[in-house]
Amino acid sequence: MVIAVYPGSFDPVTYGHLDIIYRASSSFDQVIVGVLCNSAKSPLFSGEERVNILKKVTDDIPNVTVKQFDGLSVNFAIENQAGVIVRGLRAVTDFEYELQMAQTNRVLAPNVDTIFLTTSLEYAYLSSTTMKEVAAFGGDISKFAPPLVVEAIRDKMNL
Ligand code: PNS
């Protein structure tokens, strides 16, 4: 049984994240999406809100669960008996940061491996930050995230 964690900020989840979650769920027995709540970033959505949104948009995938976590991703992996951390790679600009993080994590926890899934081409440009910026200026974000996420952003931004 191979358990994978997919840690991230997910503020909020996009179709790019969902693409990684779906693909990871077909490669691993169990995928636990970890929502980091103690990040230095000031998120638009609270940890609980991000978890609730993720739970709703993944409720059709039986081997995916969603949890909130604080602290190190490797500790979240170890606490959940996961041998794998999944991360999505969009472009070469992601690579340096992701490589450094994967190598640091491997030093901290040699039994936990990071596996990268390259983001599907149609979502290669997409990030939660871009989506929030487009929304804030009144742009159409319906191609970036499921309708309930679009609605949650509109409510949060009073659009
Ligand atoms: O969605 P993001 O913001 O790209 O996710 C980044 C995340 C949460 C995976 C990363 O910041 C992280 O793992 N933070 C927890 C602290 C940690 O474990 N740092 C890694 C040591 S370099």
| Structural domain containing residue 107 | 3-124
Among the listed residues 50, 87, 90, 132, the single catalytic one is 90
Number of domains within the chain: 1
Q: Answer whether residue 149 is part of any domain.
A: no
With the C-alpha atoms ordered 149, 150, 151, 152, is the resulting torsion angle positive or negative? positive
- The stretch 93-103 carries a mean pLDDT of 95
For a pocket test of ligand 1, which of 9, 54, 66, 116 has the largest count of ligand atoms closer than 8 A to its C-beta? 9
Comparing 35-49, 93-107, 138-152, the range with the smallest average pLDDT is: 35-49
pLDDT digits (tens, 9 = 90+) for 30-50: 999 999 998 677 999 999 999
Evaluate whether residue 15 is within a structural domain.
Answer: yes
Q: Which two tokens stand for residue 105?
A: 């994590």
- Residue 91's pLDDT band (boundaries 50, 70, 90)? confident
